[in-house]
């Protein structure tokens, strides 16, 4: 058995009242202390000096290209330019928000508030004396809200219908105003408005300023491929820039968290975004004084200094297979004082490539520090901060690159205006997309469950059902009823693997009218085919919400973004086919 003093910490102890003997810190067995230092590796590198200056040289290239959507290998595209004047999250997530005249039952509140703001601008011009009279009634009469049909009024919820009836006769329709002012021939003032000849120029100027205000209210996407992939329920895009030795392309295939960082991008050497003619990169050099890396709980450098008691690395419970924990403890206790940090200021939205790092120590010796990828085995396999290649490409990681994306630190997010739960129903052998919340025509979160109950209540008031009678005759039921906001996803085998395609459920009232989705996430106007692995047992929750932030230049940006997270587990719809009921039910 080893002695109890083999790994015990020895400290001087004084039994006298004076502390002079203890402060001397005498060691009666210096050989034992030297042996402990040798076992802990404190003799390694003791003949080197401390670093006092570091000179870093690198190559910096700002992002110049942005490609929206997925991109196939061996593809050459001429991607639009990108100058980091807008956060990358905004560029990726923004979707069409401004209403059009075709969407009669959408964006009613925005259309009313836009028309009200136009009247407010006209009133301000009249108060300043630039308009001869008030043209409020003329614009309300010329650009009214369209009359709703009986079928349209039946499908509207109570709040949206009340809002429409309240605002339809008071303000002009902003959608029709915008369509009129954005005509190919420019802003045209119709003669039916009866604008005075001296006020035509002022009214046109007001229309121009109002159009500019409406177009800059939301961050609208540019024409091109949408970055949102419905089959994956994730965003996909690529960015690129030009270095002296060629173009660099980084691709984000699975972005859905709401925050972008360097680890969300993979190196993509199989595509070209057309950045070969962009501005070349620039050489940068930084000189700084290295500072020792410090963290809470690390061993103190001074003899009489006590470490932070809130962190105890000695109490870390590491088993024989907990390699990462043992490496952490070894680094914290033995090699924590061998690391230094060099502050380097970088520009946002740039990719940096290190050219050289020269360290000058206290003896005046200069040492060139090479990247880990340029060292021999096994040091070249250390790849903690390198961009991985795309899955399946077989390429090597992109070494010696650092990407500082133009991403946000924080933004204001509204409560979800749309929420869809994707879950598995093992009893029915189906997957379901449940529209829990959708955006109402009045742009308010509409609970589909409460709206379904309200719709049934109104239907019963219009046509009350007959009381059920008890009968001994068995009745055949084709299928049970499912709520209108439950959309089935049917498993279909395709050439790309197993997919979950959106289906439709017929109503049980005998009419051949299927139930379709209402919100934008399920994209009722197009075919939706989700990969089977994207809906796990725990389910998926996808939301849409408004986002607002300010960028580094002081500009404000408002857009609608989507988020994906874990669901709420499996569910059961109670769907059954071909059942017999005892008696009248």
Q: What is the 3-state secondary structure (H, E, C) of 300-323?
A: CCCCCCCCCCCCCHHHCCCCCCCH
Tell me how far the alpha carbon of residue 172 is from its chain's centroid.
Answer: 36
Q: What is the DSSP letter of 81?
A: B
| Cα–Cα dist 459/155, whole Å | 11
CA distances from 11 to 28, 30, 297 (A): 11, 13, 20
pLDDT score of 9:
56
Per-residue burial over 409-420, b if 16 or more Cβ lie within 10 Å, else e, is: eebeeeebbbbb
In this predicted model, what pLDDT tens digit does every residue of 153-194 receive, in sequence order? 888 888 999 999 999 889 999 999 998 898 887 888 888 988
Which residue ranges of the chain lie beneath pLDDT 70?
Answer: 1-17, 19, 21-25, 45-47, 102-103, 303-304, 394, 462-472, 508-512, 583-585
Residue 255 bridge partners (DSSP): 235
pLDDT score of 15:
64
Tell me how far the alpha carbon of residue 325 is from its chain's centroid.
Answer: 31
pLDDT score of 503:
85
Q: What is the DSSP letter of 198?
A: G
pLDDT score of 303:
67
Q: Phi, psi (5° rounding) for residue 374?
A: -95, 0
* Strands of 459-576, DSSP E: 475-479, 486-494, 497-502, 505-506, 514-515, 529-531, 540-550, 556-566
| Cα–Cα dist 330/234, whole Å | 40
Distance in Å from the first CA to the final CA of the chain: 83
pLDDT score of 29:
79
Q: Is 372 exposed, middle or buried (0-12, 13-18, 19+ CB in 10 A)?
A: middle
């Amino acid at each position: 058995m080893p002695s109890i003093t083999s790994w015990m910490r020895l400290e001087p102890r004084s039994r006298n009242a004076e502390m002079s003997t203890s402060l001397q810190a005498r060691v009666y067995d210096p050989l034992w202390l030297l042996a402990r230092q040798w076992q802990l590796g404190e003799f390694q590198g003791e003949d080197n000096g401390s670093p006092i200056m570091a000179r870093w040289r690198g190559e910096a290239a700002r992002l110049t290209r942005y490609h929206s959507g997925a991109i196939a290998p061996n593809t050459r595209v001429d991607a639009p330019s990108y100058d980091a004047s807008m956060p990358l999250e905004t560029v990726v997530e923004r979707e069409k928000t401004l209403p059009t005249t075709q969407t009669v039952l959408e964006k009613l509140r925005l259309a009313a508030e836009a028309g009200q703001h136009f009247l407010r601008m006209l009133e301000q011009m009249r108060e300043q004396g630039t308009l001869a009279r008030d043209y409020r009634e003329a614009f309300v009469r010329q650009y009214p809200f369209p009359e709703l049909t009986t079928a349209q009024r039946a499908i509207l919820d109570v709040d949206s219908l009340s809002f429409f009836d309240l605002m339809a006769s008071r303000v002009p329709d902003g959608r029709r105003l915008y369509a009129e002012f954005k005509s190919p021939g420019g802003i045209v003032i119709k003669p039916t408005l009866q604008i005075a000849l001296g006020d035509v120029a002022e009214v046109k100027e007001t229309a121009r300023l109002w159009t500019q205000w409406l177009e800059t209210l939301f961050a609208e996407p540019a024409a091109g491929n949408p970055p949102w992939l419905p089959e994956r329920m994730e965003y996909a895009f690529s960015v690129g820039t030009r270095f002296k030795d060629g173009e660099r392309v980084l691709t984000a295939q699975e972005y859905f968290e709401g925050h972008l960082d360097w680890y969300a991008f993979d190196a993509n050497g199989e595509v070209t975004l057309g950045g070969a003619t962009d501005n070349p990169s620039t050489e940068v050099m930084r000189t700084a004084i290295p500072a020792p890396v410090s963290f809470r709980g690390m061993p103190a450098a001074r003899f009489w200094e006590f470490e932070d008691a809130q962190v105890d690395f000695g109490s870390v419970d590491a088993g024989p297979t907990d390699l990462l924990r043992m490496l952490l403890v070894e680094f914290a206790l033995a090699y924590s004082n061998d690391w230094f940090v060099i502050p380097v200021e970088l520009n946002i939205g740039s990719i940096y490539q290190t050219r050289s790092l020269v360290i000058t120590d206290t003896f005046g010796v200069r040492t060139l520090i090479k990247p880990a990828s340029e060292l021999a085995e096994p040091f070249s396999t250390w790849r903690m901060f390198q961009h991985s290649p795309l899955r399946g490409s077989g390429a090597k990681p992109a070494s010696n690159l650092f990407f500082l994306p133009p991403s946000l630190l924080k933004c204001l997010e509204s409560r979800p205006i749309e929420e869809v739960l994707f879950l598995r129903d093992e009893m029915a052998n189906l997957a379901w997309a449940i529209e829990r919340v959708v955006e109402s025509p009045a742009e308010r979160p509409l609970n589909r469950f409460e709206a379904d109950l309200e719709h049934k209540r109104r239907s019963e008031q219009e046509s009350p059902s007959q009381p059920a009678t008890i009968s001994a005759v068995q009745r055949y039921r084709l299928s049970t009823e499912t709520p209108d906001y439950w959309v089935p996803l049917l498993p279909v085998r395709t050439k790309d693997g197993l997919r979950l395609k959106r289906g439709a459920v017929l109503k049980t009232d005998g009419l051949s009218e299927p139930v379709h989705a209402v919100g934008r996430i399920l994209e009722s106007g197009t075919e939706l085919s989700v990969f089977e692995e994207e809906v796990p047992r725990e389910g998926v929750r996808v939301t849409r919400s408004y986002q607002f932030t300010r960028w580094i230049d002081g500009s404000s940006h408002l857009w609608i973004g989507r988020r994906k997270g874990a669901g709420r587990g499996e569910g059961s719809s109670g769907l059954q086919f071909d059942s017999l009921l005892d008696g009248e039910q």
